[in-house]
Amino acid sequence: MAFAAFAGFTLHVSGQNQSNKLELGIQVNQFQNDFGIGAHLISPYFLNSKVAVRAGANFQWFEHYEGAETTWTPYQSFQLGLRSRTAIIENTLFIYGEGGVILILPNSDFSSEDNEFGGYGVFGFEFKPSQKFAYFIELGGVGTGAKADLVGNEPIYSNGFLTQVGFRIGF
C-alpha cells in the first residue's frame, strides 16, 4: 500500500481499505427546476471493491404555470446505476462517479406519456464520520427528453442539471 502524508492526514494513493456494506440512503434533490425527495440502496462493492450498484426512487414535484399561478404537480422517478468510489482521506472522505438509467412515471395532469426513459450521471463527495454513517452531495445531469405536452409551451422536466444531498447508513 502506498501512502502520502499531507497536512496531518494520511492520503490513500492505492490499495484503499473501504467499508463494504449494504447502504440505505435518503436525499433531497433537484432535477432541472423540479424539487424532490428520495431513497436509495447501494450494494456492497465488488470487482476488487471498486464497483457497486445503486437503485433508487424519487418523488418529484414538477413546477409549472397553470394560468397565472405556479403549480407543483407530483410524479415519480426510478434510477438504476453503477458507481465507483475512491478514498481521498483515509476512510472519511470519498469521491465517486455514477451513471445509469432513469425511468419517469409522469403525472397525467401534465403529460400524455405513460413513462419516459433516459440516463443520468453524477459526481459526488461523501463524508463518513464513522463506518456506519455518511453524508453526501452529488452534482450531475439527467437527460430524458421529457416534455410536459399538456402544459402551455410544453416545458421540459427531469432534464438538465441535477443536485442531490443526503445521508446514508451502512448495515
- Give domain status of residue 47, yes or no: yes
Distance CA 52, CA 26 (A): 17
Residue 15 lies in a domain: no
Question: Is the per-residue pLDDT at 98 higher than 50?
Answer: yes
Average pLDDT along the chain: 88
Residue 50 lies in a domain: yes
Domain that holds residue 131: 20-170
The pLDDT tens digits for 143-159 are 999 999 999 889 999 99
Nearest CA-CA partner of 124 in 160, 163, 90? 163
Does residue 11 form part of some domain?
no
Q: What is the pLDDT of residue 19?
A: 58
**In DSSP terms, which residues pair with 71 in a beta bridge?**
64
With respect to residue 1, please indicate whether it lies within any of the assigned structural domains. no
DSSP 8-state secondary structure symbol assigned to residue 111: -
User: pLDDT band for position 68 (50/70/90)?
Assistant: confident
Q: Does residue 96 sit within a domain?
A: yes
C-alpha dist (Å) from residue 137 to 24, 25, 68, 123, 153? 15, 12, 35, 9, 33
Residue 30: other Cβ atoms inside 10 A: 15
**52 contacts: CB under 8 Å, gap ≥ 6:** 42, 43, 44, 45, 46, 82, 83, 84, 85
pLDDT of residue 69: 87
- What pLDDT, in 10s, does the model give residues 24-59? 999 999 998 899 999 999 999 999 889 999 999 999
3-class DSSP state of 157: coil
The one-letter code for the residue type at 129 is P
* pTM for the structure as a whole: 0.84
Question: Looking at the domain assignment, is residue 55 inside a domain?
Answer: yes
Domain count, the chain: 1
Residue with cell 436525499: 27
Report the share of the chain in percent with pLDDT over 70.
89
Task: Output the domain CATH number for residue 110.
Answer: 2.40.160.20
Tell me whether residue 12 is in a domain. no
